[in-house]
Structure 1
Amino acid sequence: MSAGLGGRGPAMGSMTALAPVRAVVGSRVSDTHGDEGKVSHLVQAESAARHALSKEWEIVGSFEDLDVSAEVTPWNRPDLGPWLTERQGEWDALVWAKVDRAFRSAKDCADVAHWAEENHKVLVFTDDGITLDYREGRESSFGNELAKVFLMLASIFAEMELKRIKARVTAAHRHLRKTDRWAGGQPPYGYRIVDRPGGGRTLEPDPVTSEAVRYMGRLLLEGQSQWMIATALEAAGFDTPATHAYKNQGESYSSKRKTPPSNHWNPSSVGKILRSPATVGLKLTGRSVKARTIARDAKGLPIRMAEPLFTEGEWAAVQAAMDERSVTKERSNGASPWLGVPHCDRCGDRFYRQLNFAKNGKVYEYYRCAKTAGKPACKGQSIKGERVTAAIAALVERLAGLAMTVRRFIPGEDHTEQLNHVTQAMRDLREEKRRGLFDYPGGDDEYSEALETLVDERRRLAALPQRPSAWVEVETGQTFADAWTQADQEHRRQLLLGLKARLYMAPAVEGWYLPAELEARVRQQCA
């Protein structure tokens, strides 16, 4: 049933004829990704404009809220909001196609209707045949009262429908979280979305970005820092996650960005990717990177939805290497040539380089003891740069015959890693319970069943023979002199830091220090 415009008072007839109604027409779409979403706003706008023109109203503006939920109050919507605030004096009638395009909340509906009455506006919902006309002289008409009833009923039905949609989506996502089906969104770096046998979508390694992830892991296990890995990725021409998504995730993703993202790799991105369980094919759940946890099946075990990019041993080695690097963070980008090698003989802290520029253009290089948190600089502890260079040359000569080694990770045999997975799954499960993620009908039973399954699995694995993972030193076939000759400046600094070689220096005394284990190796191999 429709409700038309309210009765027109005799005193207003001539005034209305002289002042045509100024109309604003518009649309709203929650999701523009699907085929329907791509044209829905155009259909809505056409319906609203056709109605305004049929009334011989003057269309003075339009609004188009795309990818905006109806749960967002009208005043806070990016395109509609200004027409209800600073631009409210520019129009008389606001025209939508349908009520559910304007509201999914009875409260929002009542608030807008009340606002329209106070500000003498016209609200029109063309496809639903509802019009509220609150222009001066029409406020208390029977047509308005009847239209208000139909509008409130329509908004209540729209709110109920929204709740049903949310319930269906929540139930669907809850089900999908326990399967190897991809629920939607941008895939983790290293993977791409493909059709799943039996229906739905899933993931498989992306031919290009999966190689980038494996390359990161290989460089990390070779001893390179995250900064060095980021530099290597750029040199190799690998796109960053944002750039790859912009190029490959379709028109709907690209349309949200006005300009292409920067294709500059940073150490933080490298760390996040190498830390993510998604790189071994595990399914993750959560709205943000920080909130993501490993998804589990009905038994509480991690769901593997794609081929892993690392073997179990490689993954454990990568995580161990990341843990080791997180203990002491060395600055690499823009570091002085020997940062971390020369140290103050008096306090033991590292020296920092200082460059002094003379008026004649000559540059003087010094290494000084610097003030740090809780410690003043040692007075007089300043060494000329050429002395540091000479001392390092002597140290390199001392280490020349040393056999170079790399640390290799030997994964645990038997069921060590499986036990770690189950133990972590139990921690994740308890954390999700603490965060209230099982707060739904049947959630407590689901939690108890999953935890009981994990406890039984842990007991079974713990009863089996276990051998812990370990790092071992493996000779590379190179001497220190070979590695030094082939390395650039930054890699030479990293070679010394990797050996934990230290130069403890003072203005009048010079020397170097080697850890006892390294000194023993040098004496044995370089005698």
Structure 2
Amino acid sequence: MISNPRVLGNVRLSVMKDDTTSPEKQRAAVEHWAQGPSIEGRIVGWAEDVDVSGAMHPFKRPGLGPWFTERADEWDVLAVWKLDRLSRKAGHFAEVFEWCQKHGKSIVSVTEGIDMSTPMGKMFAQIIAAFAEGELDTIRARALSGSMARKAKGVWIGGVLPFGYRFERQEDGGKKLIQDAEYAALLRDIVEKLKGDWSAYKIAVDLNKRGVPTWRDYLRIERGDEPKGVAWTANAIRAIVTNPTVGGIYTYKGEPVTDDDGEPVRITDEPLMEYGEWAFLVTDLTANRPVTRATPSRSMLGGVAVCELCSAKMSSSKKTKENGRVFYYYACNNINTGTCPSPARIRREDLDTAVGQFVRVTLGPLPVMERVNNSISQAKTELAEAESILDRLESDYLAGRIKTDVQVERYWKQHEFQSAKVERLRSEIKAAEASPAWKETGRTYIEEWETKDDGQKRVFVQRHGITVKVGFTDDGNRRARIKMPEISEIAQETGLHVPDGYLWTEPESEWVIPARRPYVGG
């Protein structure tokens, strides 16, 4: 130990409630040591971190961190009440010790009598740091056990009130989550519309027109506060529906929390949707829906129709003639780049009419069929989650992150549970894939089509895999080729009776628009 050292006092507390380790007592102990006749040190500053976990790296703490990075030249000795105030992670402790050695600094634990500038002090410090890490694991295990006990009683273990739920006080303390009748019904209405042909944008527009408060404004009104008048957005709709809390799953910082078996922790006995149903919905929304939004004012086929020559998507545009007349048309997106030798363009009303006629005439009387893949998709979603948990567990194990007895015990328990789950789900999927793939909905295509606006028709076309290609005939007329390959698969797998004259091997409707008809720009 150097004489008359410049002392940096370190104070840390995880929770401001323990009087035995209060910041005042830690500071007093450091001051008493520094002023001792054998030290005669001078305290140059305090690195104080209150409500900071011992698991946080010392270099990253708001109070202590800058003394390593920005003020390293201002002190000689880092003095702590006990070594666990510096860190509860042996790895972090070793990094700090290595840094201090490299920069000519020393670490002292004033109540444990450990001076790491001496060989004996270094040895004791390493031992105590290892015990501190073990204690941290024990603390985490106790916290998880407490959370599981509250969860088993149906008590809410989270913080912010999630969408569609409200608190119900329990007689023995704590708060239980139950459905909020009004917004649980709203959530179900949103889900049904998304399952149909409503886009998230269209739903947001509808809610704003009806003056429905957003969830946060609804809570403000319930508390008697003034609402902020925040508008619904498509992103907000998607965020609400895809949040695991809808399926009754507890999350922390957006990630599902798992129990000892690696299973998602439930937040309520009354979820807005069953977890499996929610998981399937999210899979369907993210995998099978268009990424471009369909608004009530947008065209029916913009971004859906493609140029037959270059396969680029076609966008809707308008052009105003000298006489003031406005024409709307679809044009190949490569029309302005010169990368398509013969970019397709066609009147919007002509192409919309052609697709409408294809649905009414070619598909009209046939029953709308839906894939019987809910159970398969749900099982595949659960399988992907279970395999992801296994991958993460095994990655942590191979990386040496599973060290203590508590961690090893939890690792093998979770690994065994998730492995069994993977085997079960793989068997379920194999059995489900051998089942019939289609079922009737009780509606015909023309019945579905006639009830929709342009935005819903756009989603309908995409959902049923209807392709629309626009090109030219040999004599220069514009041609629209419309197909629905899905029908071929349905007919083959279900034996669906097809009226004579229909091209069911590859159902297609071809419309030719004569060049003599008025056309913008052509």
If the length of structure 2 is used for normalisation, what is the TM-score?
Answer: 0.58
Which letter maps to 1:379?
Answer: S
Quick one: distance in 1 between partners of 2:343 and 2:2?
92
- Shift in Å at residue 163 of structure 1? 0.9
Confirm whether residue 367 of structure 1 aligns to residue 348 of structure 2: no
Match of 2:131 in 1: 160
Q: For the Cα contact (< 8 Å) 1:504–1:511, is it kept in 2?
A: yes
CA distance in 1, matches of 2:424, 2:318: 64
Q: 1:27 to 1:350 in 2, by over 3 A?
A: same
Q: Which residue of 2 aligns with 1:141?
A: none
C-alpha separation in 2, matches of 1:49 and 1:431: 47
- Say which of 238, 255, 258 aligns to 2:214: 238
Correspondence 1:75-94 to 2 at 5 A: 75-91=59-75
The whole-number CA distance in structure 1 between the counterparts of 2:41 and 2:260 is 58
Number of the residue aligned with 1:107: 94
Give the CA deviation at 1:59.
Answer: 6.8
Give the deviation of 1:160 after TM superposition: 0.4
Q: CA deviation at 1:369?
A: 2.2
Equivalent position to 2:441, from 457, 473, 478 = 473
For residues 232 and 196 of structure 1, the distance between their equivalents in structure 2, rounded to whole angstroms, comes to: 37
Query: 2:165–2:184: 8 Å Cα contact kept in structure 1?
Result: yes
C-alpha displacement of 1:377:
1.6
Of the three residues 314, 323, 328, the one matched with 1:351 is 314
Other-structure match for 1:377: 340
Greater mean alpha carbon deviation, residues 54-63 or residues 221-230 = 54-63
Q: Is the 8 A contact 2:279 2:381 kept in 1?
A: no
Deviation of 1:307 (Å): 1.6
**Distance change (3 Å), C-alpha of 1:349 and 1:103:** closer
Deviation, 1:491, is 4.7
1:226-285 CA-partner distances (Å, limit 9, x unpaired)? 444455567743248xx999999xxxxxxxxxxx9x987554x7556645665333x568
Q: Aligned equivalents of 1:467 and 1:435: distance in 2? A: 33
- For residue 194 of structure 2, give the secondary structure of its aligned residue in structure 1: helix
Counterpart Cα distance in 2 of 1:103 and 1:427: 37
In 2, Cα distance between equivalents of 1:359 and 1:37: 82
CA contact (8 A) 1:23 1:52 kept: no
* Cα separation, 2, equivalents of 1:459 and 1:365: 53
- Tell me which residue corresponds to 1:509: 477
Q: 1:57-79, CA deviations, whole angstroms, 9 ceiling, x for partnerless residues?
A: 98765433355443455344333
Distance 1:355 1:506 in 2: 21
Contact 1:404 1:480 in 2 (8 A): no
Equivalent residue for 1:221?
Answer: 195
Q: What is residue 279 of structure 1 aligned with on the other side? A: 246
**Partner residue of 1:436?**
393
Quick one: percent identity of the two aligned structures? 19
- The aligned amino acid for 1:36 is K
User: How far, CA to CA, are the matches of 2:176 and 2:126 in structure 1?
Assistant: 38
Structure 2 CA distance for partners of 1:54 and 1:332, relative to 1, 3 Å = farther
Q: Which runs of 5+ in 2 are unaligned?
A: 223-227, 398-407, 489-497, 503-522
TM-score scaled by structure 1? 0.57
Q: 1:176·1:182 contact (CA, 8 Å) conserved in 2?
A: no
The count of corresponding residues between Structure 1 and Structure 2 is: 454
Q: How big is the shift at 1:310?
A: 2.6
**SS, match of residue 47 in structure 2:** strand
Q: 2:54: which partner in 1?
A: 70
RMSD: 6.5
Q: Which amino acid aligns with 2:94?
A: K
Question: Secondary structure of 1:306's partner?
Answer: coil
- 2:20 and 2:326 map into 1 onto residues whose CA distance is 66
Kept after mapping to 2: 8 A contact 1:205/1:306: no
Deviations 1:424-482 (A, max 9, x none): 76775566445436963486577557866997999999999x97685543449996897
- 1 CA distance for matches of 2:95 and 2:76? 20
Give secondary structure in 2 for the equivalent of 1:379: coil
Rate the CA distance shift 1:318–1:514 in 2: closer, same or farther, 3 A: same
* Equivalence map 1:302-451=2 (5 Å): 305-310=268-273, 315=278, 318=281, 321-322=284-285, 325-326=288-289, 329-332=291-294, 337-338=299-300, 339-340=302-303, 343-344=306-307, 350-353=313-316, 367-371=330-334, 376-379=339-342, 381-383=344-346, 387-389=347-349, 392=352, 432-436=389-393, 440-441=408-409
Instruction: Determine the C-alpha separation between the residues in 2 that align with 1:232 and 1:266.
Output: 11
The 5 A counterparts of 1:203-222 are 203-205=177-179, 210-211=184-185, 213-222=187-196
The letter for the 2-side match of 1:473 is T
Separation of aligned partners in 1, 2:10 and 2:77 = 11
Given that 2:214 and 2:232 are in contact with CA atoms closer than 8 Å, whether structure 1 keeps it comes out as no
Distance 1:421 1:482 in 2: 32
Deviates more, 1:87-96 or 1:43-52: 43-52
Say which SS state the counterpart of residue 441 (structure 2) adopts.
strand
Match of 1:36 among 17, 22, 30: 17
Q: Structure 1 pair 73/216, CA: closer, same or farther in 2 (3 Å)?
A: same
- The verdict on how the C-alpha distance between 1:171 and 1:457 changes in structure 2, with shifts beyond 3 A counting, is farther
The alpha-carbon deviation at position 154 of structure 1 amounts to 6.1
**Structure 1 contact 370–378 (Cα < 8 Å) conserved:** no
- Contact in 2 for aligned 1:286/1:293 (Cα 8 Å): yes
Cα distance change of structure 1 residues 165 and 196 upon mapping to structure 2, 3 Å threshold: farther
| Gapped regions of structure 1 (runs ≥ 5) | 9-20, 133-143, 249-259
C-alpha displacement of 1:166: 0.5
By how many angstroms is 1:162 displaced? 2.8
Counterpart amino acid of 1:436?
L
Other structure's SS at 1:279 match: helix
Deviation, structure 1 residue 211: 4.8
* Separation in 2, partners of 1:177, 1:322: 32
